[in-house]
């Protein structure tokens, strides 16, 4: 997987680079298959290889059977309770013992298809800039058919309790507080340091909380505008929806109360103010009749 080809800068043959590509899945084999094929097609610099790790969190479709037919893919099984952050946490626990300086960990989503130069572009920015976290650009397909570019970079507005996506034209100018876990390259040192809270933040906000902690402690974030993928469905947290009480206790929902409270508690410098800011923001959203996380 990831045969050497053109595109990207070379790396000395005496020091090969390994990119550990991690993806968490639950059913939706059609998406996973397309993602893996796009990984197969990556044009990497000479001396660079990928090792793919799929965390299959309790799939009940043909995912498990089809993954067993891929000897080049390492599969870590889950029982359906890992969710995204638990799955990534499990994969990292297996990788860290063999991860060496100069290697990288790539976090991908199975509902994306990577351009052939995706990984090479991320690697080039990481090696040339020294960034420990490198985000990418994903093109969402809107209902109108328009392909809309969305970066993996975010600003965290503690005053308004808001998380704002940074558009491509502002990359390099705006401060980056956090990076999404979709299409994210981590240096070895960042992969060793990153920490998740799977119980409190099983799905939404887990990536932003983990990367924001790294940024706050001095790990440098960057975004490669040349690292492109196509998102086969829009992220649930980027679509406005009408809130309901049932969503407050659903780990799959962007309104999951433990995740929201934990996220702002870990990213806020003024935790006491959250006692009134969180209810105030919730009231504003309810009065609007719709909710959007990012």
- The angle subtended at Cα 127 by Cα 13 and Cα 84, nearest 5°, is 105
Given pLDDT bands bounded at 50, 70 and 90, which one contains residue 13? very low
Q: How high is the pLDDT of residue 265? A: 82
Mean pLDDT confidence for 74-86:
96
Residue 188, strand partner residues: none
Q: Is residue 270 part of a domain?
A: no
pLDDT, tens only, 190-233: 999 999 999 999 998 999 999 999 999 999 999 999 999 999 87
Asked if the structure places residue 247 within a domain, the reply is no
State phi, psi for 137 to the nearest 5 degrees: -120, 130
The domain in which residue 196 lies consists of 17-237
Provide the CATH number for the domain around residue 33. 3.90.550.10
Residue 117 lies in a domain: yes
In a domain, 266, yes or no: no
Which secondary-structure segment (H or E) carries 108?
Answer: strand 104-108
The helix/strand/coil state of 216 is: helix
pTM for the predicted model, two decimal places: 0.86
pLDDT-based confidence at 266, cuts 50/70/90?
confident
Asked, for residue 174, whether it belongs to a domain, the answer is: yes
Number of domains in the chain: 1
Percentage of the chain exceeding pLDDT 90: 68
Q: Residue 246 domain-assigned?
A: no
Is residue 54 situated within a structural domain? yes
Q: How many CB atoms lie within 10 A of CB 287?
A: 7
| Nearest in space to 135 (alpha carbons), one of 80, 65, 77, 215 | 215
User: Residue 268 domain-assigned?
Assistant: no
């Amino acid at each position: 997987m990831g045969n050497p080809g053109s595109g990207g800068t070379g790396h000395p043959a005496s020091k090969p680079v390994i990119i550990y590509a991690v993806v968490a899945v639950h059913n939706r084999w059609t998406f996973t298959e397309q993602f893996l094929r796009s990984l197969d097609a990556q044009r990497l610099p000479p001396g660079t290889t990928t090792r793919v790790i799929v965390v299959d969190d309790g799939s009940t479709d043909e995912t498990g059977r089809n993954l067993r037919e891929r000897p080049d893919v390492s599969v870590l099984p889950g029982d359906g309770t890992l969710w995204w952050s638990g799955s990534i946490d499990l994969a990292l626990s297996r990788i860290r013992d063999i991860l060496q300086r100069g290697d990288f960990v790539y976090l991908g989503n199975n509902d994306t298809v990577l351009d052939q130069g995706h990984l090479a572009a991320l690697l080039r920015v990481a090696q040339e800039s020294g960034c420990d976290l490198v985000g990418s650009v994903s093109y969402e397909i809107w209902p109108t058919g328009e392909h809309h570019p969305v970066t993996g970079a975010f600003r965290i507005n503690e005053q308004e309790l808001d998380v704002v996506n940074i558009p491509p034209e502002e990359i390099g100018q705006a401060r980056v507080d956090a990076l999404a876990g979709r299409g994210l390259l981590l240096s070895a040192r960042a992969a060793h340091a990153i920490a998740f809270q799977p119980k409190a933040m099983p799905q939404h906000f887990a990536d932003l909380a983990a990367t924001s902690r790294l940024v706050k402690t001095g790990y440098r974030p960057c975004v490669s505008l040349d690292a492109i993928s196509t998102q086969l469905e829009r992220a649930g947290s980027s679509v406005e929806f009408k809130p309901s009480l049932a969503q407050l206790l659903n780990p799959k929902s962007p309104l999951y109360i433990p995740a929201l409270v934990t996220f702002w508690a870990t990213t806020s410098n003024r935790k006491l103010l959250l006692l009134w800011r969180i209810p105030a923001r919730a009231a504003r959203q309810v009065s609007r009749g719709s909710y959007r996380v990012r």
